[in-house]
């Protein structure tokens, strides 16, 4: 990590002399002394609230006292350089980190006021309410219909086939895929194009009526046209859901999100309205990152 970052620095400042380089390096890689996040992490009507969240992998601390709210009908974009912990943090929100045995989460993460790490909490209904879309499209090797119907089936959301058909249709309509696949619902989901697969995964996530949708770099494996379709879709979905998206593309963050959070080495450096972050960042690190001085 250190080496990788320093190499990146080399490329960013090819004409710097060694002294300046070392100084710059030290500045970028020192933990900010003042850990207080710039900007207000809180919103008026939060769907999820995170307070002082620490995440450890074994001995190593990956997330450091992060507090942030996820607002209803909002897209919260999380940006930051590789390894900054944004994906780790995202995965805390529906406890996907549980599958990693060495991972430990401290602090409070609440969904509608209930601590999801509480002792009485079952992850199965939690994941139904906080859905997730992954970096690489990962439809099940089943038919399009079964992909979407899988969630409702295991959660017992429908009483008969007609209801299930309806859920599948509405989910696919919401995901903007219905018109393209309505005649071939029985064909394998893996036969679709990359962008269609990712929208199928979104349809699969919304079929169980979640309240929050987490997206982990959903467009990184897609071409620009497919990316544009998914971004449009995110904008439409905002009307009904709270959305958290992790992205590498700052342009994408500025296009789809209302709020943006900047992570750096496990710290939440700055959070605020997207417009403000991209036009008038409050922290030097944020500014360096969005102006492309390192990344």
Partner 1 sequence: MNSPEPVNTMTTRPSLLEPGKNLKKRYRTDLWFQRIGITAIFLSLAFIALLFFQIISEGYTAFIQTNILLEVEFSEQAFAKENLATADYPGLIKKSLTDTFPEVKSRNGKKLLFSLVSSGAAYKLQEMVEANPKIIGTRQKMWVAAASDVDMLMKNKIDRKAPEENRRLMDNQLAWLDILKSQGRLEKQFNQTFFTTGDSREPELAGILGGVKGTALTLFITLTLAFPIGVAAAIYLEEFAPQNHWTDLIEVNINNLAAVPSIIFGLLGLAIFINFFGLPRSTPIVGGLVLALMALPTIIIAGRASLKSVPPSIREAALGIGASKMQTITHHVLPLAMPGMLTGAIIGMAHALGETAPLLMIGMVAFIVDIPGAITDPAAVLPVQIYLWADSPERGFTEKTSAAIIILLAFLMTMNSLAIYLRKKFEIKW
Nearer to partner 1, 90 or 277 (CB): 90
x-or-dash string of contact with partner 1, 170-209, rule CB under 8 A: ------------------x-x----------x--xx--x-
CB of 62 to partner 1, least distance (A): 18
Residue of 86, 127, 229, 255 that binds partner 1 (CB under 8 A): 127
Q: What is the DSSP letter of 188?
A: B
Nearer to partner 1, 153 or 276 (CB): 153
CB of 190 to partner 1, least distance (A): 5
Work out whether 136 is an interface residue with partner 1 (CB under 8 A). Answer: yes
Residue of 64, 138, 193, 220 that binds partner 1 (CB under 8 A): 138
Neighbours of 141 (CB within 10 A): 10
191 vs 134, 174, 210, 223, 273, CA distance in Å? 18, 20, 26, 17, 39
Q: Report the C-alpha gap between 117 and 91 in whole angstroms.
A: 13
Within the chain, strands assigned E span: 46-57, 60-71, 75-79, 103-111, 114-115, 130-133, 212-216, 242-246, 259-264, 267-273
# of chain residues touching partner 1 (CB under 8 A):
29
Work out whether 99 is an interface residue with partner 1 (CB under 8 A). Answer: yes
- Pairing, β 267-273 against β 60-71: unpaired
CB of 240 to partner 1, least distance (A): 18
Site for partner 1 in 208-247 (CB under 8 A): 208
Q: Report the C-alpha gap between 234 and 246 in whole angstroms.
A: 13
Residue of 84, 93, 128, 144 that binds partner 1 (CB under 8 A): 128
Nearer to partner 1, 133 or 265 (CB): 133
Work out whether 114 is an interface residue with partner 1 (CB under 8 A). Answer: no
Sheet holding 242-246, edge to edge: 130-133, 212-216, 242-246, 75-79, 259-264, 267-273
Nearer to partner 1, 8 or 123 (CB): 123
Identify how many contiguous H helices and E strands the chain contains and give both numbers: 12, 10
Q: Report the C-alpha gap between 210 and 208 in whole angstroms.
A: 6
Nearer to partner 1, 57 or 134 (CB): 134
Site for partner 1 in 63-92 (CB under 8 A): none
Neighbours of 15 (CB within 10 A): 5
The footprint of partner 1 (CB under 8 A) covers 94, 96, 99, 101, 123-128, 131-134, 136, 138-141, 150-151, 154-155, 188, 190, 201, 204-205, 208
């Amino acid at each position: 990590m250190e080496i990788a970052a320093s190499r990146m620095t080399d490329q960013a400042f090819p004409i710097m002399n060694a002294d300046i380089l070392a100084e710059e390096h030290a500045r970028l890689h020192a933990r900010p002394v003042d850990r207080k996040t710039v900007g207000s992490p809180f919103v008026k009507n939060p769907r999820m609230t995170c307070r002082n969240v620490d995440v450890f992998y074994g001995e190593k601390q990956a997330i450091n006292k992060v507090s942030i709210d996820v607002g209803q009908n909002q897209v919260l974009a999380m940006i930051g350089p590789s390894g900054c912990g944004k994906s780790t943090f995202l995965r805390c929100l529906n406890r996907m980190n549980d599958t990693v045995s060495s991972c430990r989460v401290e602090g409070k993460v609440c969904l509608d006021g209930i601590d999801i790490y509480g002792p009485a909490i079952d992850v199965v209904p939690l994941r139904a309410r906080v859905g997730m879309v992954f970096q690489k499209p990962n439809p099940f090797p089943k038919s399009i219909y079964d992909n979407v119907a899988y969630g409702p089936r295991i959660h017992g959301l429908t009483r008969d086939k007609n209801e299930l058909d309806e859920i599948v249709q509405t989910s696919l309509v919401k995901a903007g895929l219905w018109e393209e696949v309505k005649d071939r619902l029985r064909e394998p989901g893996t036969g679709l194009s990359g962008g269609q697969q990712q929208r199928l995964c979104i349809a699969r996530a919304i079929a169980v009526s979640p309240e929050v949708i987490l997206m982990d770099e959903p467009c990184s494996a897609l071409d620009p046209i497919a990316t544009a379709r998914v971004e449009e879709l995110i904008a439409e979905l905002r009307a009904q859901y709270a959305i958290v998206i992790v992205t590498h593309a700052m342009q994408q963050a500025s296009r789809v999100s209302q709020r943006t959070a900047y992570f750096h080495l496990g710290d939440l450096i700055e959070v605020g309205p997207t417009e403000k972050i991209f036009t008038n960042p409050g922290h030097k690190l944020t500014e360096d990152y969005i102006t492309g001085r390192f990344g």
